[in-house]
Structure 1
């Protein structure tokens, strides 16, 4: 018995095991897909995430049923919190929804695969290096893909800039248009308060080869997290100038901003 199987037998309840088995994945005879996804690893990851999702961050997810049950889809959200907690919680919400759950693939920063063991672990949990080619292959494979167009500009933002959306790249829109993939906007509220940073030591980040070096307390605060999923947005594959592509990106950005405002207005307290 492998270590993963040993841990799975002790951590994963039967209901969660059955839930993941309902989600079909094109895995090979060894239990992995070409990007390293592994069902047993995912089950263990979800079992551990459940405690964070339900008890620590006490997540409230509205509209998760709006994510199409099949076919290619891009789940586009605001990014924050220094660590990819937002992607983890979005993935859990979709994988454990009652009706037609899906196991989304998350596009991750190039830094994470360089960390020993972490890169392989994230791949087994469904994460994929955030490269346009990888994302295109995921969509061709009819996957639901979580993307954060702000990139490290969003995850590494300072507390004073919380909930201020940074510049979105246009790449996700080109992919959505080419692969006829609906875009589901998501407004994440709460992750900004999990690891509030007051400064970023850029020289230190460069010397260490990391995206940013935040000045923050070495603790993850139990902020209550709200996930608001919006209605799918569909954009045709008309051959249009890049300026019009950028306008479409701004439409998605505006939808996410509205969902963030909704979450901020609904929450009663930070913790």
Structure 2
């Protein structure tokens, strides 16, 4: 796989492809969106320790654009500098669908959403950012914009337990209003696919098939890229979540993993409910 200039695409399997100089070159562009387009408000950064690595667990919003993710990363770099290591787990399909975008993301710290990459990053002393909810989260209906959706994925819990790392939730309000997801017709699309009437793009099961209102399409059908509307975004770094037990034995205990998952989900929901109230009072 190669880029338009015939250079090879960085595949996200190496921690060494992160490029602090490239990140620094992007900061002025991110700053413009941060200050003038999304008019970001943020708090809670005191919860991130100065030196200790953490597992940042987020709920992201706003379709494939996911503007709160970019704004959160801009805040990290402007507060901690481009040299402090943080890696974000990115879905493997991005390399197939948009290799140019994948290559740029890798230079800012994206790696494959694979356990071995997350473990390698943590063992290197880096922090890791993960969005367990994936497509189900980023394209959840507008009516559920204030709902934490982790899609039942518990790999991040096992990772935190096995590597003995603290979880810090990251949440946002406003980003899910940069487009309006009317609903998900995935089951209907899947049936058409099974009948041979709707081939999956790049032969990748999208897991969701939303219908939404937003730019640039007006009406978007399917998990297609979007350009976010200029809605104000409020992000928050939540207090750390520390479990009672850690280690491989804890990570292999299904009942305990389920308990930890529900603890994280419920605390994130409580924090999001509070952030909604805070953002409404600021209006």
Q: TM-score, normalised by structure 2?
A: 0.76
Change in Cα spacing, 1:51 to 1:103, as seen in structure 2 (3 Å) is farther
SS of aligned partner of 1:258: helix
Asked if the contact 1:81/1:191 (under 8 Å) is kept, the reply is: yes
Q: Aligned ranges for residues 69-218 of structure 1 at < 5 Å?
A: 69-83=50-64, 84-97=66-79, 102-114=84-96, 115-166=98-149, 167-200=151-184, 202=186, 203=189, 207-209=200-202, 211=206, 212-216=208-212, 217-218=214-215
Unaligned runs of 5+ in 2: 1-13, 217-227
Larger RCO (CA within 8 A; separation ≥ 6): 2
Number of residues of Structure 1 aligned to a counterpart in Structure 2: 239
TM-superposition CA deviations, 1:101-132 (whole Å, max 9, x none): 84521111122122131111110111111111
Question: Which of 209, 232, 237 is equivalent to 2:240?
Answer: 232
Across the aligned residues of Structure 1 and Structure 2, the Cα RMSD in angstroms comes to 2.5
* Structure 1 stretch displaced more, 71-80 or 203-212: 203-212
How far 1:213 sits from its partner (Å)? 4.6
Unaligned runs of 5+ in 1: 1-32
Q: TM-score, normalised by structure 1?
A: 0.79
Alpha-carbon distance in 2 for matches of 1:261, 1:101: 34
* Structure 1 stretch displaced more, 82-91 or 100-109: 100-109
How far 1:75 sits from its partner (Å)? 0.7
How far 1:34 sits from its partner (Å)? 3.7
